[in-house]
Structure 1
Amino acid sequence: MKKRIVSILLFVSSIALAQQEAQYTQYMYNTANVNPGYAGSRGCLSALVMHRSQWVGLDGAPKTNVLAVSSPLDSEQRKGLGVSIINDALGPVNRNAISVDFSYAIPTTENSKLAFGIKGTANLFSVDFNKLNTFNAASITNVKNNDNRFTPNIGAGLYWYSDKTYVGVSIPFMLENKFYDNDVQYIASERMHPHLIAGHVFKLSNEIQFKPATMIKVVKGAPLQVDLSGNFWFSEKFSLGAAYRWSAAWSAMAGFQINDSWMVGYAYDRDVTRLGNFNSGSHEIFLRYELFKKIDKVVAPRFF
């Protein structure tokens, strides 16, 4: 019963606090989700598949699936194109989004570029009220059992990067669309989520490198979200790291660069809030494939 109560509260809070965006621990590998300037920046055709099961053991807990593909469009690697598909489910809410990103990069130094990106997104937002426990059916007689809404959105971002450092600012969704504003007694609205991301790679020895990264997200009506992470790379093949989501969760991460094309990664989160008493943690796994041309020379795997 406690788990069901918490799951209903999660649904209500997601509407009230406008936290529509999915949560990721390994955000440093899924940058295109928050910044369209990232499209094509890896210099090759890159495909990422990611799955996240959040708050395992809690009824109606979030589950997220991601497919993202991006590539440069020209030999100078100034133009980039990306497409991503995201399915995010939370209790009775199911959201499918298809985004297209376009970026244009200009050199700032011999080894760095500044990319300007734009994002266009088509959202299908649906709620199945049959999945909710109803305590007073008379109060919701005018509510449809299934409510489906289609909304478009746009976003933009700046992404500066070199072979060792990156910094980006973006607003992936700029339009504040509203739901349930006609025949239902409550209103939910999307709100802008400005993002700041940054990371750097430090060479500690010939075999060990260290990469700290951060993502800061701001949205009206919710606390400031700050994610901090650090990954150690060993022999450019294996990584171990930890992350902290401010006042929310600790995380452990591991990754393996199978070869120049394939990489797999895993993260486990544990809540530090009272919500941690009702679940066994969160799991996140990704698989990345990259197609290099035969004339390309890969000196070392890119860490972002």
Structure 2
Amino acid sequence: MKKILLLSIVSAFVFPCFGQQQSQYTQYMYNTMTVNPAYTGTRGLPSVFGLYRAQWVGMDGAPSTANFAVEAPITQNGQGLGLSFINDQIGPASESIVTVSYSYPIQLAAELFLSLGISGSLDFTKVDYSKLNVYDPDDPYLSGILNKTSPNLGAGVYLHSPKWYFGLSAPLILETKFYDDVKMSVVSQNMHFYAIGGYVIDLSGNTKFKPAALIKAVSGAPIAVDVSANFLFMDKLTLGAAYRWDASVSGMAGFQVSPGLYIGYAYDYDTSGIGNYNPGSHEIFLRFDLFAMTKYRLVSPRFF
């Protein structure tokens, strides 16, 4: 299995690379700004978000993702500004993306808003071939370090009310190819499209239910579908499950520790063949809502 994973990593950087390239999250419903800039600031108060995901635990060179984001409304009418940092590691390769996001809301009805968002980002890609166990250490294609930097743009729309939301976005509009004429390798970064939606149903005074879905599309890969179902009890405890089409099933839990602090955890079990070689994936996040920096107060914790 290690040989298969190593071959996949090497192939991605020695030959043209296509397929799903953006970071993958199970708890996407709490991390929406990463895939849609129009979400920025729509929660109505400044927030700080941190997430760490360890995928395929126990496998050498397995992917890991760290995500840190800050967002806030910056005007009376709810325009939002956000900054995020993502670092992906897989085998000898690492990718860091710094993104600035901005959103502008349009009120369509008393409790219905359409947010328009744009983003600008810098992508720093690094491949350290010396970390590979190379059969021939003198192989010119598998030695040295590849460093590439590229700018990109993103855009999105986000329609939302207190009970439901729907968004469409393309966080990376520019298609970029990093070409190394010495190693004759191409790393291709393709345009991604996302559709996200969710609905909150009041089952009782103390229980809310929210089904949600995320659809991802990129050239060269099958459409990916994530669906989830979460229950919120007493505005404190969240329990739920998720399914990633032909890939994994997940369990999720979250707790509102205080009015300003929420912690969430997810465990993924792979349903594909690779699940036979690892015990699963783990994802944890913290979200801090900075009530002291705004005159607004949430009546109860937002479910999205």
Counterpart in the other structure of 1:23: 24
Q: CA offsets, 1:128-187, max 9 Å, x none? A: 00111212445x326551111111111100011111111000000011111234222332
Partner of 1:33: 34
Q: How does 1:1-304 map to 2 (within 5 A)?
A: 2=1, 4-12=2-10, 14=12, 16-77=17-78, 79-138=79-138, 140-141=139-140, 144-293=143-292, 295-304=295-304
TM-score when normalising by structure 1: 0.95
Q: Is the 8 A contact 1:143 1:183 kept in 2?
A: no
| Offset of residue 297 of structure 1 | 3.1
The answer to whether the 8 Å contact 2:44/2:296 transfers is no
Unaligned runs of 5+ in 2: none
Instruction: Report percent identity of matched pairs.
Output: 46
Question: Deviation digits for residues 12-36 of structure 1, max 9, x if unmatched?
Answer: 4655333221110000000011000
Q: For residues 175-227 of structure 1, what are the alpha-carbon distances to aligned partners after superposition, in whole Å with 9 as ceiling and x for unaligned?
A: 11112342223322000110000001000011111001100000111111000
SS of residue paired to 1:163: coil
Distance 2:264 2:226 in 1: 18
Q: Deviations over 1:218-259 (max 9, x none)?
A: 011111100000000001100100000000000000000112
Give the structure-2-normalised TM-score: 0.95
Which secondary structure does the structure 2 equivalent of 1:11 belong to? helix
Find the residue that maps to 1:179 and give its secondary structure: strand
CA 1:143–1:274 in structure 2 vs 1: closer, same or farther (change >3 Å)? closer
RMSD over aligned CA atoms reads 1.4
Gaps of 5+ in 1: none
> Does the 8 Å CA contact 1:260/1:298 hold for their aligned counterparts?
no
Contact 2:140 2:183 in 1 (8 A): no
The one-letter amino acid paired with 1:19 is Q
Offset at residue 299 of structure 1 (A): 1.2
- Counterpart residue type for residue 155 of structure 2: A
Contact 2:164/2:200 (<8 A) preserved: yes
Runs of 4+ in 1 over 6 A off after TM superposition: none
**How many corresponding residue pairs?**
300
